[in-house]
Structures are given as C-alpha cells and as structure tokens.
Chains A and B, each alone.
Chain A
Amino acid sequence: MDFALSEEQQLLRHSVERLFADHYAFEARKRYAQEKDGFSRALWARYAELGLLGLPFAEEHGGSGGGPVETMIVMEAIGRALALEPYFATVVLAGGLIRLGGSEALRAAIVPKIASGELILAFAHAERQSRYDLADVAATARRVGSGYMLDGAKSLVLHGDSAEKFVVSARLGGGQRDRDGIGLFLVDAADKGVSTRGYATVDGLRAAEVTFAGVRVPAEAALGTPGAAFPLIERVVDAAIAALAAEAVGAMAAMHALTVDYMKTRKQFGVTIGSFQALQHRAADMLIALEQARSMAMLATMMAAEDDVRERRAAISAAKVQIGRSGRIVGHGAIQIHGGIGMTMEASVGHYFKRVTMIDTMFGDADHHLGLLAESGGLIAA
C-alpha cells in the first residue's frame, strides 16, 4: 500500500507542471482559445516533444509504456492549468481504443503519429438519444464487400472539429440498446460521407456533431471484434473516467488554492475576509471535499486497468459519484467566497467551476453512477 509516486513519475509531474507553468497563464489560455482549432497547435507539439502524447503506448510504436498513474499525472496537471489541447480525446479516449483494440498493423500505422503530434483523434460514440447508456448505439455498420458502410449521427464528439480521424461506434446487429452487436471503426474525417459541425462548449473546449452517411471503411479499420466491441468501450471509458477524475481533482485543487489566496488578500470591514469563521468553515468543507475526491481519483486510477469488471466498475462509479459531489461543494464555495468577482469571465475561478461541472456530465453524472453502483450491490457486501 503506497500512494507515493516513483522517481520517474515525479520527474514526469515536474516536466508537465513546468510546461503549464511556463505556457498556461490565464491570459495565454484566452489566446489559445481564439486559435483556429480552439487550442494551441504549438503547445501540442511541445506535448509531443515531452513524450506526453506517447505516454500510454508501447515503446516499439514511439510510446513509453506508461499506465494509469502516468495518465493521472498528466490529467491532473491539465485540470490545474485548464488546458485546452485534445489530450483526453486523442490519447485517452480514441488512443485507448486503438491501443487496446487495434490490430498490430493498425497500431503500427497510427500510434507513432499520435505520439509525434501529427494526428488528432476523437471518439464518435454518443448519440442524441443515448444519454449515459454506453450500449445505446443507433448508428449502423453494414457489411459491404470485404468492408463496411457506416450510417448515423454522432453527438457531442469531443474535439470532433479538429480530429483528423474518428473512432466510430456503429451497430452490426442486435437491438438499439443491446450490449452485443456493436463495432468500432477508424474513419478518416476527410472520407466521403463524413460531415462535421464544430462548436464551442461552455467550459471553453470544442466538440462537434458528426454525421456519417454511407461512409465506406475497409475491414482493416475495425477495432476489436466487430459486433463484440462493447467490453472494449466499457474498459476504455472506465479508464477515461479515472482520467477525468484526475483532471477534476486538478481543477478543484486550483479553485481551492485560488479561493484560500483570495481570503488572505481581500479585505472587508478593515480585515482580510479569511479571518471570518463562516468563510473559514466553508473553506474547510471545500478542502474535505477536495481530499475525498483526491482519494477516490487515486482509487479509480489504481483500479482503471483491473480485469475483474465488477470490481473495476464499482470503483469507477464510486469515484465518479465522489467527483460529481465534491465538484459542486468546491465549485459553489469558490464562487461564493470570491463574491462578485467570481461571477465574472475575467476571473479564472469561474472557468474552473464550469469545467468541473461539465466533467460531471461526461460518461454519467453522480446520480447515474450512484444508480449503477446501487444496482450492482454497492461496495460493502451485506
């Protein structure tokens, strides 16, 4: 039982934190958001130089063979910096599906390009009706010749407007909400029949609605077993939730630090507002919520690659519940203690609050995961 980082992991953390300390002042972030893709391509190249984009991949493909702890380190730093780059979409989500489901040939072709920063990817999975049900896939994949033809509309595709390739889920058989019958395919954004409508998200990032109309893909573009890809999706989403939990912890920690600093400087009635017990206790409540979230993000990280699906899902759901609840306690407290200034676009605290709020809505909110966990019998056997 050990919660400390190894020496290599500490070095990784220092280099990531240095990158963001040097390049992610709040004003710089505003500029990056104005760039064409809604993030900084120049910084994306720096991520690649530092080896962050190859982190979880095999060394033979230009990666460094990192695990969930390495992902946690990067995601927590991204959360602290409110970084805009498509790390989660490219490396964690689509990259995770390729890493665990791609054929050797496909990985050899794609992973080096991810690691070098040449390729931005997105996971086109959610649909208008699917809400938090990962198995609810109406998009279809029909076998045509030796390949497939994809049809369907995907929604809320994170960084879908800058992605050069999509990993797309589509149904080969079964009912719309069946776990069986789902396939995953790597599709080029420039392919005929793919249309993308990008937009900004309320937390300052980007997403897209992506439509696939009669899109032809070869058999080699399939990830996992066509028709039986659901366990792969579930596994990668679980790891993604662990990563989001780490990002949320980074954002919450930043919000809490901003708030405590503000309490030490802002004066009213001739004294710093940090001398008021009502505010001290609220800041203490925020710290408790943050530390409980941090504990659960660590649990999620250490369980993200667990092979026992029931154990893994229980830990991940529990972590998502905690992150959602803590996010509100920390976020609401941070805005309240900042007062009017916390309501403004020019203060960073509100941007953290928005990001943490949106993390709750991704891959199942606290209430959804509480329901899943309750249905599976909870964490403590009767």
Chain B
Amino acid sequence: MDLGFTPEENAFRDEVRAFMNEKLPPAIRNKMIEGRRLTKEDIVTWQRVLNAKGWAVPHWPRQWGGTDWGPVKTYLFRDELQQAPAPEPLPFGTNMLGPVLIAFGTEAQKKRFLPRIANLDDWWCQGFSEPGAGSDLASLKTSAKRANGHYIVNGQKTWTTLAQYADWIFCLVRTDAAAKKQEGISFLLIDMKTPGITVRPIQTIDGGHEVNEVFFDDVKVPAENLVGAENKGWDCAKFLLGNERTGIARVGASKARIRRLKELAALEQSGGKPLIADERFRAKITAVEVEIKALEMTELRVVAERTRSNKPDPASSILKIKGSEIQQIITELLVEVVGPYALPDQVPHDESDRWNEPPVGPDWAGPLAPQYFNYRKTSIYGGSNEIQKNIIAKAILGL
C-alpha cells in the first residue's frame, strides 16, 4: 500500500496544472469560481483549447483523438481540470455518445461524428428521458417506424439539457411496440434541424434555462443514423449509463468550491468577526472536508482497481451518491455565507447576460442561492440516488 504517485505521474499533474494556468481564459475561470452561467461560446472555446492540445477526449482510443493515459493519469487530469476550476468537455458528446459510437457504431459513423464531437463542431444533446419515463427509462414511448430507408419519429423527450444549443440529438426510440420493454428500443441519431422538431424551454427553480422539452412530429431520419442493430438500443443505453457514472464523484470540483467557501466566509462578517472564525460554521465546513477526503480515497481505490480490471464497478454508485451529496451540502453552506443577501433576485432569467446591476449587497452573492436550488438536480440526474441504492443492493449486496 502506498499513497504516493510516481514521479512521472506527479510530473504529469504539474504539466496539466501549468496548462490550466496558462490556457484557461480568465473570464471563464472567474465565472466558474463565482458560480455564474457559462455561455455556449465559453464552452465551445474551452473545449477547442483542450482539443488543440489533444485533451478533449483523453479516455477515447488514440485512433480517434484520445490518449493512452490509463486510469491514474485520467484521474489526475480530471482532478486538475476541476480544481482549476475549468469547465468539463461537453459530456453528451465526449462521455456519452462518443464511447457508444466507438463500441457500437459503423466506421462511417465514427469517421463522420467522432472528430466533430472532440472539437465541439457538433453540439450533441441526450434524448433519453420522457414525461412518463424517468428513472423507469425503459418504459419510453417515442416511436420510430421504418419506411423507405427512413425512420419516422413521433413523440416527446424531456429534461433535454442544453438542447437549445444542440446541432444533434441521440435518442432512444421504440422500434417494436409489441416486444418486451427493453427489447423494442433502438438508438438513433437525429439532426436537430430536421423539420418537425420543436424545442421548448423548461425554466428550473433557479430561474435558469438548462433543460428543455423536445417534440418530434413525423420527423424523418435516415436509416443510416441507427447505431447498433435495430431493437438493440438498450445495450447502447446500458453501456452509456455505465460511462456516465465515471467521474461523477467530482472531488476536484468540490475542493475548488470549498476554497471559494472559505474565501467568502473570511470576507463576510458575523458578530463583528469573519464568519470563518465562527467555531460552529468552521466545524460544518470541516465536516464536509472530511467527507471529501474520504470520497477522494474511495475514488482512488476505484481508480487503482480499474488499473487491474476494466469491468464496470458497482462502487461507482457510491461515488455518485456521496459526490452529489457533497456538492449539494457545499451549495447549502455557500447560501449560509451569503445570509440575508441570498434574498435579492439578481440572475438573468433568460439566455441573456442581464444581471441586476449594480448588485444589491456583496457582488459575489447573486449566483449562490440559485446555484443551491439548481444543485438539487445532482441527486436526481444520472440515475437518482435512490436508483443507485437499488443498484448497490442488487449488484453489491446481492439482495
């Protein structure tokens, strides 16, 4: 047993850190620190910086622009990226669709889509959830009927993150209504410009517009856009959801938020002294730091295990649950730091950058209450924490 990284791994960490310091645009970094929303341009700009370095899709095979870092370096890269703090490459293409295409796609599909995913030339969104199919994903109803080399798609997707920016959507659709739940599903790639697609925004409790409803009305999709075999889409979905959980612990991001929390708690006065000097408040922060350390060690154990075996590890459910709980508690503590200045509504309620200027109260207060409301999502998405506990009960405990 040994906690240390090798000299080569440490040099790699230094290299990544230096790259972040040099290449991450300060305006984007500041938004990340302050918890302000990123624009589409911010996300595209940064991913192209990463891609120019060959680091947008490090977990892909070399042939498609990836690296051969292995689990430890991939972990170190992500940790440094999150601690910078820098935005993650857009996950829908890089973490979800990319690996599915690499595993199940045709050569033509790989050549056509993978390079454009890495460079964020195509903005992908995920069409899985439906109004009647949330945690019970396999009960989805959106239908695709094959006719003359095309599929005709009808139905509705929901909670579609950043669909308002998307060029393409990957969808689970029902191609055999008579088959058992999981067996009549196919995985289909759909151009968002196709006639018959309507995107309607959903405003979330933080006032933001991250998610959407997407409606399909006789949408004509070329049959060549099918990934894998017809009615075998559930295999792609299971594979994708397994990948979705890697990196979900977000330990690096939580460390960066703790630094921000301590910085703000040192600025804010309470009873004539900085809030950080308040023993009760400091103990709350410290309790979260202990949780983060334990999660970091647990993640490292999973990473170390991955260097031995490449099997999906049900322990990633533990990372998802603890990771989301920690992210949520930090947003809670940030609201406690803001105190009464959580009250003024200062964030834009649309795509614009129209903040309530000049700010009421401290200029850092505005985004923190909305972020707290927004982060309730972390225990819901990516397989809700209750679903993760079902997975633990079944896959680890054998119940």
Contact = CB atoms under 8 A, between A and B. Distances in A.
A2 B307 CA distance: 10
Contacts of B108: none
Nearest to B305: A3
Contacts of B297: 295-296, 298-299
A291 interface: yes
Contacts of A321: 287, 290
B2 A299 contact: no
A371 interface: yes
Contact of B386 (A5, A281, A373): A281
A1 B72 contact: yes
A287 B290 contact: no
Counting chain B CB atoms within 10 Å of each CB, the highest count among A263, A284, A373 belongs to A284
Interface in B1-60: 1-5, 9
Interface string B215-258: 00000000000000000000000000000000000000001001
B300 interface: yes
A301 interface: yes
Interface in A361-382: 370-371, 373-374, 378-382
A348 B297 CA distance: 30
A260 B397 contact: yes
B263 interface: yes
A373 to B, nearest CB: 5
Given A280-B390, A292-B322, A287 B397 contact: yes
Contacts of B304: 1-4
Nearest to B276: A382
A370 B398 contact: no
B393 interface: yes
Contacts of A295: 294-295, 297-298, 301
A322 B287 contact: no
Given A379-B290, A382-B262, A287 B5 contact: no
If over half of A's interface residues share one DSSP class (helix, strand or loop), that class is named, otherwise mixed; here it is helix
A281 B389 contact: yes
B392 A287 contact: yes
A296 B397 contact: no
B292 interface: yes
A260 B398 contact: yes
Interface in A1-45: 1-5
B321 interface: yes
Given A2-B2, A264-B399, A291-B315, A382 B289 contact: no
B293 A318 contact: yes
B318 A288 contact: yes
A374 B286 contact: yes
Counting chain B CB atoms within 10 Å of each CB, the highest count among A260, A296, A382 belongs to A382
Given A281-B386, A380-B258, A275 B290 contact: no
A101 interface: no
A69 interface: yes
B396 interface: yes
Interface in B380-399: 386, 388-390, 392-393, 396-399
Contact of B294 (A5, A283, A296, A301): A296
A302 interface: yes
Contact of B393 (A283, A291, A374): A283
Interface string A251-275: 0000000001001100000000011
Given A302-B1, A380-B259, 8 more contacts: A2-B2, A264-B399, A280-B397, A295-B297, A299-B3, A374-B282, A379-B289, A380-B255
Interface of B: 1-5, 9, 72, 255, 258-259, 262-263, 266, 279, 282-283, 285-287, 289-295, 297-298, 300-301, 303-304, 315, 318, 321-322, 386, 388-390, 392-393, 396-399
23 contacts: A1-B303, A2-B304, A260-B397, A260-B398, A281-B389, A283-B397, A284-B388, A287-B392, A288-B321, A295-B298, A296-B290, A298-B1, A302-B1, A303-B3, A318-B289, A370-B290, A373-B286, A373-B290, A374-B285, A378-B282, A380-B259, A381-B259, A382-B259
Interface of A: 1-5, 69, 260, 263-264, 274-275, 277, 280-281, 283-285, 287-288, 291-293, 295-296, 298-299, 301-303, 318, 321-322, 370-371, 373-374, 378-382
- Please name the 8 residue pairs, one residue from A and one from B, whose CB atoms are nearest each other, closest first: A295-B297, A280-B393, A382-B262, A284-B389, A374-B286, A284-B392, A292-B294, A274-B399
